[in-house]
Amino acid sequence: MGSLFDELARQASAHARREVEAYAREIAEFGFLDTNSRARAETLEYSLWLRRRTIELSPDNSELSDDDLGYIAAIGESRAAAGMSLDARQRVLGLHTSLMLREINEATEAQRDGGVGELMRMMHWFAPQGERGIRAYSQGFVTALRHRLAYVEQAALLARSLLKGDPISAELASALGMELPERCAVTVIRVPERPAGDHDLESEIEALVKSHHAPITWWPGKGGRNGELIALIPLRPAASPASARSSTAETVQPHPVPDLAPDLLPDPVSDLVRDFAEALGRPCAAGTATSALSEVADALGLARRISRAAPLRRASSRLRPHTMSDVFVELAVADAPFVDAWLHAVGRSLRPGPDLLVTLDAYYRHDMHRGATAAALNVHPRTLDYRLRRARELTGIDPGSTRGVRIFSSVVTRRLSEAWH
């Protein structure tokens, strides 16, 4: 055995102790190692075993055996069974990898000739075998989660792991029988403050997860009376028109569209929003942004902003999630306080009129069609005409003009989103 490996063998016990101390010091969930001597001894034994197997296998580039991987999986399973969180698991893996690399570097520097050849052999082994070990550990971890957590909790854990980019999401998805698509629609359904005594959402969310078979999680707001339902709905790839052309034809690639048009959203997205709104029984607002699976964290931020700009609606056959193309004006207004204040003033000017905000909302949602709008409001078309005329008298803005559409539609959306309290 070469000098680098000799040095690592001499320091293995000290390095294992240093790792256990680092766990207890830096990861809150491992604080029990300072008081539980048995758990500390078991953790130390595992840390020492990992180092010895690394020293034994890396010189000849031998792989971890099935028994080795089984032992690693058993450790992951026992830690999950004891209640370790995904965040703590990720920190453990990161800390262990960091310490192992530090130990290899220190051992290399201790050699007079630098041990470059042996270092290259060690690193050639470390990366692929480390990846196999992490995969085994994650498989064991998920095995315990399947026994410890209900299906709805596993789906919530999958959603959160995807949003954090945690590699364990692949194992969680497999355990749940879900496929991880290349792209998905990140949907945020905003639930405003609910009155005390309102029905509990847990059973409704559980039914939603089971019927839609998708990663879904609930993020409560302050006090627990409000919050957001977050779902990651798979998007199936559509056939490209260019694929039907001759392979020799020169094609011009269009610029990527950052958001789907509302009428292009897949049915599962709209179905989920309507199902949840019906179960909720109260107004809510939904926003959706599409992205590659690797970029869902950014899509969540956009979907959340869209949901906060979108008007609150009750469940109906017309209810659907909003996309950026629906509320791009309101998103910009929210970032321009002086514009928002001006629109708010226009909205206040409408207060003396009879139900003018409700009327304008229906007017624009029915594409300014007098008959359809009057029917939706259950009023005579002449009553509608009076209300629209009253809005013009109060503000000096004609609701049917281009200027009126631009201003009043934003006023209505900002008001119904409860942005103005």
State residue 114's pLDDT score. Answer: 56
71-96 core/surface letters (b: 16 or more CB in 10 A; e: else): bbbebbbebbeeebebebbbbbbebb
What pLDDT score does 251 carry? 36
What is the structure's pLDDT at 256? Answer: 42
Question: Roughly how many angstroms between the first and final C-alpha of the chain, as a whole number?
Answer: 73
pLDDT at 291: 92
Q: Where in the chain is the domain with CATH 1.10.490?
A: 3-148
Q: What is the CATH number of domain 336-416?
A: 1.10.10.2840
Residues of the chain under the 70 pLDDT cut: 1-2, 112-115, 195-199, 223-224, 237-266
The whole-angstrom separation of Cα 55 and Cα 94 is 20
User: Among 137, 165, 138, 143, which residue's Cα sits nearest to residue 298?
Assistant: 165
Sequence-distant (6+) residues with CB within 8 A of 199 are 281
CATH 1.10.10.2840 boundaries in the chain = 336-416
CATH class of 3-148: mainly alpha
How far is the C-alpha of 416 from the C-alpha of 406, rounded, in Å? 16
Looking at residue 303, its pLDDT comes to 96
Q: Which is it for strands 216-220 and 227-235: parallel, antiparallel or unpaired? A: antiparallel
